[in-house]
């Protein structure tokens, strides 16, 4: 009943903000359009359509806001008026009250705010779907005197958000089950597994300590980078509902006019963004998976001018070595237009049935990808390419890999950002050297050398013990063989005794039978 009520609330919210007429206008004439026209009766629709869509998503809660955040990066798919409004969902979600925020911070830190901060800005600088951020200045302590006067950002989890997310996720799980039951193609897409993975990521995002750990991990990877900066975490002040981090000064990557006026090189920025993404994915297998403009800043400080600043690490993606290997080889094969290798890799990885004909899959992939090479990014839509690949995959029963859904979403976000910065960017040429370097390091002779270096400490421990381990193994083998021989001998002896008993019993029976026959014959005669 609670989920049915939620569905009714979604329908009512769409009606209240005047979205039903937008849906009706996109339907073909028929009974569905007539029914929706009746439902549209008295629906208020005086606001612009972009505003109505944004207000609806805000009213429906965090999951719908995140959906709007993803859409806001795809200006190639949406009109400008809708994209501009959805962009406000990135960091302009209505905040919760200052009193609530203050109480939550003091409860988490176990101290009054004045004891921890010299200054605290009660008005949030940013408010998103899951949390909001305040600025402050730390007060040093006897244990941490070096913190005195450091500028920080304080992130606070929204109160009462867990029940809302739980209700929406329950609804999504039910819808996924329905899709699997009514659609054979839906079963191939594994909607329940995809929703389950989305469930995990959302719950991870509600644990701010996990976000702090994710940020710390990425900071270690890029500590010496001249392209990306990650804020430092103040672990003594981090809790599951509140975290305190280094304040990063920059301008949102979505404010292109301000960046252009500051003299930022957009072509370099776009190329750096692509390099950062592919480095995270293939070199480290650990990537920022929520890369909308609200989470990406550009530094204008003289010594760090033009560097990316990443924020909000509640959602990160992780890939296994096997996934990285197959993905890198697939990308590189695409870039080299080696479609046969793409087909072979899909079969080797088990993403398509083993009996799939390589030639057929090769031809299908070629027909999708070949028209898009040697074109600037402004003439390519990865969304359309992925859609066509998806349509092709149905023919070959390609299984969707749930662990790669975050990567696909992030790749679309990266493309949307790069398109805004430099429409003439050649995505393929920018990413190809990164992949070639990674494959050389992992699969070439360099990879072999690095692998030997990595395993050297283990071998150093194992090699001196090899003679003893070999002797013990041989001894155990000999004992096992001897034990097997003894068991076989016992079995043979037992079978021989049984056979002897059977023969003896048969002889006694035969003797008795003959003796009886003789006695009977003597009595007759």
Catalytic residues: 290
CA distance 299 to 503: 99
CA distance 154 to 237: 9
Cα–Cα distance list, 13 to 20, 33, 60, 135, 169 (Å):
10, 19, 8, 34, 18
Residue reference for tokens 């003289």: 302
Q: What share of the chain is helix, strand, coil (3-state, %, to 5)?
A: 65, 10, 25
Nearest residue to 381 via CA among 70, 68, 77, 69 = 77
Give the pairing of strands 286-288 and 131-138.
unpaired
Nearest residue to 418 via CA among 257, 271, 305 = 271
Nearest residue to 76 via CA among 308, 385, 391, 369 = 385
- Are 310 and 228 within 8 A, CB to CB? yes
DSSP string, 136-149: EEEPP-SS-GGGTT
Mention every residue, 6+ apart, whose C-beta is less than 8 A from residue 65: 57, 58, 89, 93, 128, 129
Query: In the sheet where 296-298 sits, what is the strand order?
Result: 228-229, 308-310, 296-298, 251-252
CA distance 434 to 335: 12
Cα–Cα distance list, 469 to 307, 372, 423, 477, 508 (Å):
54, 58, 63, 12, 58
- Are 339 and 316 within 8 A, CB to CB? no
User: Residue 476: how many CB atoms within 10 A of its CB?
Assistant: 10
Mention every residue, 6+ apart, whose C-beta is less than 8 A from residue 252: 90, 91, 293, 294, 296, 297, 298
- Helix (H) or strand (E) segment spanning residue 419: helix 405-421
- Are 315 and 204 within 8 A, CB to CB? yes
CA distance 523 to 525: 6
Q: Which 8-state DSSP code applies to residue 97?
A: P
Tokens representing residue 186 in the block = 């839906």
Tokens representing residue 523 in the block = 């009595």
CA distance 372 to 383: 12
């Amino acid at each position: 009943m609670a989920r049915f009520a939620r569905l009714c609330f979604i329908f009512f919210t769409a009606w209240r903000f005047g979205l039903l007429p937008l849906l009706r206008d996109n339907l073909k004439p028929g009974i569905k359009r007539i029914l929706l026209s009746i439902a549209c009766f008295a629906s208020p629709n005086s606001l612009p359509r972009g505003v109505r869509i944004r207000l609806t998503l805000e009213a429906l809660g965090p999951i719908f806001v995140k959906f709007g955040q993803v859409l806001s990066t795809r200006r190639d798919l949406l009109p400008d008026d809708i994209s501009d409004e959805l962009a406000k969902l990135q960091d302009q979600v209505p905040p919760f009250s200052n009193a609530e925020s203050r109480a939550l911070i003091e409860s988490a830190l176990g101290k009054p705010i004045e004891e921890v901060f010299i200054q605290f800005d009660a008005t949030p600088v940013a408010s998103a779907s899951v949390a909001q951020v305040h600025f402050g200045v730390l007060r040093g302590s006897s244990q941490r005197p070096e913190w005195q006067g450091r500028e920080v950002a304080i992130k606070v989890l929204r109160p009462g958000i867990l029940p809302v997310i739980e209700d929406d996720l329950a609804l999504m799980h039910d819808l996924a089950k329905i899709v699997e039951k009514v659609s054979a193609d839906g079963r191939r897409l594994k909607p329940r597994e995809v929703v389950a993975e989305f469930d995990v990521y959302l719950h991870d995002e509600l644990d701010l300590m996990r976000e702090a750990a994710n940020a710390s991990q990425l900071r270690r990877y890029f500590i010496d980078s001249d392209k990306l900066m990650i804020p430092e975490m103040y672990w003594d002040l981090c809790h599951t509902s509140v975290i305190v981090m280094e304040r990063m000064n920059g301008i949102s990557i979505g404010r292109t006019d301000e960046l252009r006026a500051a003299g930022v090189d957009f072509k370099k920025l776009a190329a750096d963004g692509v390099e950062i993404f592919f480095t995270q994915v293939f070199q480290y297998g650990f990537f920022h998976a929520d890369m909308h403009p609200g989470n990406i800043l550009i530094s204008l400080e003289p010594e760090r001018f033009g560097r990316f600043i990443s924020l909000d690490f509640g959602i990160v993606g992780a890939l296994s070595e096997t996934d990285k290997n197959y993905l890198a080889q697939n990308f590189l094969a695409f870039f080299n237009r080696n479609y046969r290798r793409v087909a072979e890799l899909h079969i080797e990885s088990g993403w398509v049935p083993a009996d799939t004909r390589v030639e057929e899959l090769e031809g299908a992939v070629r027909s999708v990808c070949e028209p898009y090479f040697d074109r600037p990014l402004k003439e390519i839509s990865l969304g359309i390419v992925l859609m066509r690949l998806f349509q092709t995959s149905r023919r070959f029963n390609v299984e969707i890999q749930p662990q790669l859904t975050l990567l696909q979403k992030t790749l679309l976000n990266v493309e949307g950002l790069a398109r805004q910065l430099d429409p003439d960017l050649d995505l393929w040429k920018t990413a190809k050297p990164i992949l070639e370097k990674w494959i050389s390091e992992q699969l070439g002779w360099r990879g072999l050398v690095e692998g030997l270096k990595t395993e050297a400490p283990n071998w150093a421990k194992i090699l001196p013990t090899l003679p003893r381990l070999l002797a013990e193994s041989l001894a155990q083998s000999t004992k096992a063989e001897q034990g097997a021989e003894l068991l076989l001998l016992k079995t043979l002896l037992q079978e021989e005794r049984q056979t002897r008993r059977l023969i003896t019993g048969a002889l006694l029976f035969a003797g008795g039978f003959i003796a009886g026959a003789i006695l009977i014959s003597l009595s007759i005669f």
